[in-house]
Amino acid sequence: MASFSGIRKRLGPVYAVADQCIYSASQLLLSFALARVLSPSDFGIASAFLAIVSFQYILHTAVVHEPLLIKRYYEDRSAAWWSWAIVVAVSVAGFLVWQFTGFPGPLNWAGVALIVGYEIFWISRSVLLVGRRFAVLCVSGVLICIGYVAVLIGLRPASWTQALLWIAVIQLPFLALIAGSLKHVIAPLPAPADSQALTIREATAYGWKASLSQLMSWIMTGGAILLLGSSADSAQGGLLKIYITFLLPMQYVLLALGYYILPKLAASWKSDDRREAFRLFIKFVVFGFLVAEIGGVVLGLLGPYLVVLAFGKNYGGMDFSPFFYAPAIFGLTMCLRTGFRAAARPGALLWCSIFGALVFAARMLIAKPPISYIQTINAMTLGFACMAALMIGWLFFIMRGAAAPTAR
């Protein structure tokens, strides 16, 4: 049994990456299917609704996923339920603000169904990941892939509203996974003397700063899709969605590796072993940058062929030249975020993110209308590059400050 446990521990990164690859494939399949069954303009509108879901994912990651990954247990069931309810409530509020102020059509409640459905699915993934139940995670990812294909390609919904409602419905069965796994993330009673279970106050305190920094990045990605998808030429939102969809495999692989090393980095950052943690983090950043650059070059070369194969002939004229440089910048910022999280510096990460978002906003303001997806991609890349430059300088300062006590 000890030998089997050792094998499972060594295969942990493999399981984590496999799970994220499957999850990434599910999101790719979703975009492929929507683009094929909907017109370019309807795909752009659907992409705008899914951009709201990506905003919700930021909240879920900051309030639910990351705090639970670090603490491993909620203090009690009410802490779990309240943290989940906060994510849904804030997401619905953001959706309604967009519907009343930016959406060109009448109020459409499909967005609320999407928010509830996706939160159920993500909670199940968070709970399973904390319990290291990677096999179940992989199976759930395969099931959601099958569901997307069945309801979109098989049923071929007639409108973007029907498509979004079906996407929400197939997330509901994952309630069973939450019900069966919730006990594994609730602190046992009586609690140990050194128990540090997660409270709702800790979850929200960590989450508001972490989500604000992610929100700045969302402005440059999901927010841009929301802007273009709500415009008169909504097809531009769909084109930007396709561009970001091609980045998903790299994003999820780096997320999986980052979350895998996050507990070790967080535990070692202020311990006597922090030099080893710094070396691990630097290796991770270099590896992530190289993976993103290699992936970007491959997509730059093969993208014109892959987009027709995956999304259809309607999108054969896309310009893939930004892939030769943009994914590397995007991947670098993702890896650098892990260092800020491990050092418990959400405030510093927020300032770096605000700086990048301001650069992006300034670049978009001086762009000549009508704004195209290529103009948006270039503004996005510039914003992330400026953000990464500030993050590198700030992390160097943090590391020097942490290493100073050891030197003395």
pLDDT of amino acid 80: 82
* CA 83 to each of CA 90, 205, 332, 341: distance values in angstroms, whole numbers, following the listed order: 11, 11, 30, 19
pLDDT of amino acid 385: 93
CA distance 224 to 108: 20
Token pair for 144: 């959601």
pLDDT of amino acid 380: 92
What does pLDDT average to in each consecutive run of 10 residues of the chain (408 residues)? Answer: 46 65 82 89 91 91 83 78 90 92 80 93 85 78 88 86 92 85 68 64 78 83 88 85 83 77 72 71 86 89 87 85 88 85 76 91 88 90 93 75 50
pLDDT of amino acid 276: 73
pLDDT of amino acid 340: 80
pLDDT of amino acid 168: 92
Q: Give DSSP secondary structure letters for 358-392.
A: HHHHHHHHTSPSSPPHHHHHHHHHHHHHHHHHHHH
Main-chain phi, psi angles of 221, to 5 degrees? -125, -80
Is pTM beyond 0.95 here? no
What 393-398 contacts at long range (C-beta under 8 Å, 24+ apart), as own/partner pairs, is: 394/340, 394/348, 394/351, 394/352, 395/336, 395/339, 395/340, 395/343, 398/339, 398/343, 398/345, 398/348
Residues in the chain: 408
